[in-house]
Chains A and B, each alone.
Chain A
């Protein structure tokens, strides 16, 4: 029997943000990498404690903004100069000052779409089912409890060894997360 076969990971419950931060740091120092922490609000320093680097969200938003800016201006330039030129008082067809407001609006619009879609895509959401939802206590991650989950596919993961390690962190509870298969 494969000991880790139907286990997604081991999860420990903590009562406040300082405890989860300390626990995550020591798990990282202990060599665990495939793990995630869960908190009812963003805890300062927690992603860094998990070894996460900066996110790619800003680059995506910048790319969205720049393409919106160019696209918005191109739209107006194409319509006013190429497709449907109109002579208004002998003024230049490419009357760029008048194109600024819409260029600005389209820039903002594309950047906003890039922000939300980029964030959700990087988070791999929407994802209606996740093994963590099999644990009844996990519901409190959205209210007042903090969780650290070490995944079974971490190279250092060993059911007994990892459980002993988690016990050392003095959590309120330790739970096995079934894969649900």
Chain B
């Protein structure tokens, strides 16, 4: 049995698409039963047989999560004065992190919805995972504006409801749009994710050996019994959800971008901001996906399902998006010059040659130049190289948001109000704490839910 896959592995290496890339969606030797086994067993294996690395990762992530709670507790006790923000730099790390996390949350629905509509069958191996990543990232993102309110306990004032104060939210404000956009995005992503998860939960229910698991997965599977009639409605609902989620993905970061584009601050007030933010968002989402997915692929031995073809395609998409971001940088500089606006010109000059100039040049290197390595097929097919490029882009996108949000605020219209921004310990603690929250949620998902869409993968195996 073991010699068989290795012989056909060679055949798989020979099978290539017209452009010369590996063509396999699923490794040879996989069948319906083995796919269920490969993916389902990750969830159902007893604790003792789980990879040790999972426990170490979970311990690290949980420690960061505890730090997050401490930072939030201290913030609620003291107020936002513990952060480095003030006037004129009223939007500091909290908003940078918000925009960064929302961006990371864009890959999931992009892969799930847009690639589904485009019949990109390779999405199957990674869609569940990235959808989950979306939910975790939006959970982190949503916390930051709330914490930044100063009085998070009255956050519900942002909701439109007939209150005793006789007030309504200002519906003409992009900040209110933002709450609707991010809230809708989270809810729709959750619905889409759960809709796809129902049949897989039924698979786990049917494989579960203990009564507790049968009960929990049974409740979550809602009594799904794989009826053809049910599948018909399920597929239709899933397709329609993809259709309505597609404009949603493009709208969310556009609305986040409008928080800036509608404001008058030089460096924010640009029409290119919404599309540029969308490109950057999907870019950072793909980068974060690689940073999480590659270790998990290695840890759980999912090489048969997440094949070189997937890595190659993800690399290609990242390259395109990275260059769209580079194009946006060029247009930003060009428009500042072309507008003839003295404030825009001054901000752009300050960005590259002012006190934060090294941020800008670091950004150009790690966000634009390093990802050019993806032109090489060898880099795209090498998991380690891909991981490094993705990590670089991830940090790069954070720097990008820092440059747009904070550096623009340090240098607005009147020189007498120009200030530097210095993050405090609590800024960093909140930021790395949110990474802890993100990783904890991801690790819990990997342990307790099927991280690859089993029924969709089966469909490919059956048609092979």
Contact = CB atoms under 8 A, between A and B. Distances in A.
Contacts of A132: 225
Contact of A41 (B172, B176, B456): B456
Contact of B188 (A43, A95, A108): A108
Nearest to A128: B223
Interface stretch (B58-66, B92-100, B161-169): B161-169
A129 B168 CA distance: 46
Contact of B225 (A38, A57, A118): A38
Interface residues of B, number: 63
Contacts of A125: 222-224, 230
Contact of B455 (A38, A41, A75, A126): A41
Given A75-B160, A144-B33, A105 B244 contact: no
A38 B229 CA distance: 9
Interface string B431-464: 0000000000000000000000001101100100
Contacts of B160: 75, 79
A38 B236 contact: no
Given A61-B240, A101-B251, A102-B177, A39 B231 contact: yes
B203 interface: yes
B218 interface: yes
A168 B32 CA distance: 26
Contact of B459 (A38, A42, A116, A138): A42
Given A115-B237, A119-B237, A101 B229 contact: no
B251 A47 contact: no
A57 B233 contact: yes
Interface residues of A, number: 62
A84 B455 contact: no
B228 A126 contact: no
Nearest to B460: A41
A1 interface: no
Most buried by B among A57, A88, A113: A57
Interface string B192-219: 1011000100110111000000000011
Contacts of B241: 112, 115-116
Interface centre among B168, B171, B184 (most CB of A within 10 A): B171
B188 A112 contact: yes
B255 interface: yes
B181 A105 contact: yes
A154 interface: no
A141 B225 contact: yes
B31 interface: yes
Contacts of A88: 172
A120 B31 CA distance: 30
B184 A101 contact: no
Given A101-B251, A142-B206, A38 B226 contact: yes
B42 to A, nearest CB: 15
A102 B171 contact: yes
Contacts of A39: 226, 228, 231
A88 B184 CA distance: 28
Query: For A24, A39, A42, A80, which residue has the most chain B Cβ atoms within 10 angstroms?
Result: A42
A109 B244 CA distance: 9
B223 A129 contact: yes
A43 B231 CA distance: 8
A115 B206 contact: no
Nearest to A43: B228
B236 A116 contact: no
Given A79-B160, A128-B223, A108 B228 contact: no
A16 B236 contact: no
Given A76-B171, A105-B181, A126-B222, A47 B229 contact: yes
Interface string B57-91: 00000000000000000000000000000000000
Interface of B: 31-33, 36, 160, 162, 166-169, 171-172, 174, 176-177, 180-181, 183-184, 187-188, 191-192, 194-195, 199, 202-203, 205-207, 218-219, 222-237, 240-241, 244-245, 247-248, 251, 255, 258, 455-456, 458-459, 462
20 contacts: A17-B462, A41-B455, A41-B458, A42-B228, A43-B228, A47-B231, A55-B236, A57-B236, A61-B237, A80-B172, A112-B187, A115-B195, A119-B237, A123-B233, A123-B234, A125-B230, A132-B225, A139-B207, A143-B33, A143-B36
4 smallest A-B Cβ distances: which pairs? A144-B32, A119-B237, A79-B168, A126-B222
